[in-house]
């Protein structure tokens, strides 16, 4: 089978299109999946540049999420049979297991049936961003009906699903965007109010929209400066969640006065540390997201696809920034 592998860190030139043996089942609960597509995420480019998240993880096959067809199952597997279509988030943080590959072996409990309302490519691009947004909004911020929610970068990978998940939870949503086209896109997803951060003041805009109250939840998907800018836009006793390192030398005086609850979200924790119940919880999240998709309440926007051999082009596009939705690699 063909895979995209790195054996050193660096630019896109370290991505190598190489051949590996098709993996075999190693345990009775395993399934072998023939991948149809894989999602491409910013974390993939960071691992390529900075190194794997697991010790001694090189050489490594990149890619954390994907979708495909079950080829063979272990003797103890009862959830799936050959021919079933699945989606999942597994691998890609170090070592030989990742979704930038034509085949992958994983424990069957880490996979879920693929929602049929969306394509194989859309399903492959979805798990990492869905898990991130769901955990941020539901598990960290404890979102409730009627709350006001600020989603930063609402046209991006995490942002565009976060808008929809917040709306599905009964919240009102405002978001930041960078262009009229992205404003239209975010409104179509359910955002009530869009702020062009290049032209408008964030805090003034949020306060105008929220009638001077601030937002109950803010989701930072951008980084330290946006995290800091969000603090004075928060309602008292609100939840500020970031999916990135908030940076050093943070002045949290205003956050403390507002009695904010600050949360850090990293959906890779189950792969990094395997805390009890975490993998099961993420499987349940994907199952619930599939229900929303099948009802038509959640969609995945894939702006562009590339064949596996052109993974470098996808990485370059992500590194240019200002992405709308997701990118995916196809295996055919």
Return the bridge partners of 73, or none: 31
Q: Is 146 exposed, middle or buried (0-12, 13-18, 19+ CB in 10 A)?
A: exposed
Cite the DSSP H helix spans in the chain. 42-50, 120-125, 127-134, 157-168, 180-189, 202-209, 224-230, 253-257, 269-273, 278-295, 311-320
At 322 the pLDDT is 86
The pLDDT score that the predictor gives to residue 135 is 98
Structural element, H or E, at residue 172? strand 172-177
Report residue 99's pLDDT band, with 50, 70 and 90 as the boundaries.
very high
Q: What is the pLDDT of residues 153-193, one digit of tens each?
A: 999 999 999 999 999 999 999 999 999 999 999 999 999 99
User: What is the b/e burial string over 40-62, where b = at least 16 CB atoms within 10 angstroms of the residue's CB?
Assistant: bbbbbbebbeebbbeeeeebbbb
Confidence (pLDDT) at 46: 98
Mean pLDDT in residue range 304-312:
98
> pLDDT of 41-86, one tens digit each?
999 999 999 999 999 999 999 999 999 999 999 999 999 999 999 9
Q: Please tell me the predicted confidence (pLDDT) of residue 332.
A: 78
Provide the pLDDT confidence category of residue 249 given band limits of 50, 70 and 90.
Answer: confident
pLDDT at 254 over 90: yes
What's the mean pLDDT in 197-213? 97
Beta bridge partners of 306: 329
pTM of the model: 0.98
Angle in degrees, 0-180, between the axes of helices 127-134 and 278-295, rounded to the nearest 10: 100
**113 beta partners:** 86
Q: How many CB atoms lie within 10 A of CB 303?
A: 15
User: Mind listing the pLDDT tens digit for each residue in 257-300?
Assistant: 999 999 999 999 999 999 999 999 999 999 999 999 999 999 99
- How do residues 28-51 score in pLDDT, each as one tens digit? 999 999 999 999 999 999 999 999
Q: Is 90 exceeded by the pLDDT of residue 217?
A: yes
Contact 240, 260 (CB under 8 A): yes
């Amino acid at each position: 089978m063909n895979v995209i592998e790195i054996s050193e860190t660096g630019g896109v030139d370290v991505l190598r299109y190489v051949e590996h043996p098709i993996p075999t089942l190693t345990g009775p609960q395993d399934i072998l999946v023939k991948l149809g597509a894989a999602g491409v995420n910013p974390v993939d480019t960071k691992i390529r540049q900075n190194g794997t998240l697991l010790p001694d993880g090189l050489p490594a096959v990149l890619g954390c999420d994907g979708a495909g067809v079950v080829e063979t199952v272990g003797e103890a597997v009862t959830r799936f049979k050959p021919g079933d279509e699945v989606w999942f988030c597994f691998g890609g943080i170090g070592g030989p297991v990742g979704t930038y590959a034509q085949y992958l072996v994983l424990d069957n409990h880490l996979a879920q049936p693929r929602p049929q309302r969306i394509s194989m490519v859309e399903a492959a691009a979805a798990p990492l961003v869905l898990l991130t947004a769901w955990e941020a909004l539901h598990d960290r911020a404890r979102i409730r009906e009627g709350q006001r929610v600020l989603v930063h970068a609402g046209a991006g990978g995490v942002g565009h699903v976060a808008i929809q998940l917040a709306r599905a939870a009964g919240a009102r949503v405002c978001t930041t965007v960078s262009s009229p086209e992205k404003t239209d896109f975010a409104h179509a997803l359910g955002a009530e109010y869009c702020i062009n951060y290049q032209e408008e003041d964030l805090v003034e805009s949020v306060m105008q929209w929220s009638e001077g109250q601030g937002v109950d939840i803010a989701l930072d998907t951008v980084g330290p400066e946006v995290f800091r800018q969000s603090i004075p836009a928060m309602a008292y006793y609100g939840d500020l969640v970031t999916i990135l390192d908030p940076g050093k030398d943070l002045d949290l005086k205003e956050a403390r006065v507002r009695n904010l609850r600050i949360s850090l979200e990293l959906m890779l924790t189950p792969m990094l540390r395997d805390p009890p119940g975490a993998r099961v919880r993420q499987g349940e999240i994907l199952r619930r997201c599939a229900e929303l998709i099948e009802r038509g309440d959640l969609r995945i926007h894939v702006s562009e696809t590339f064949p596996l051999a052109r993974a470098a082009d996808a990485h370059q596009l992500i590194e240019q920034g200002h992405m709308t939705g997701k990118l995916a690699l196809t295996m055919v």
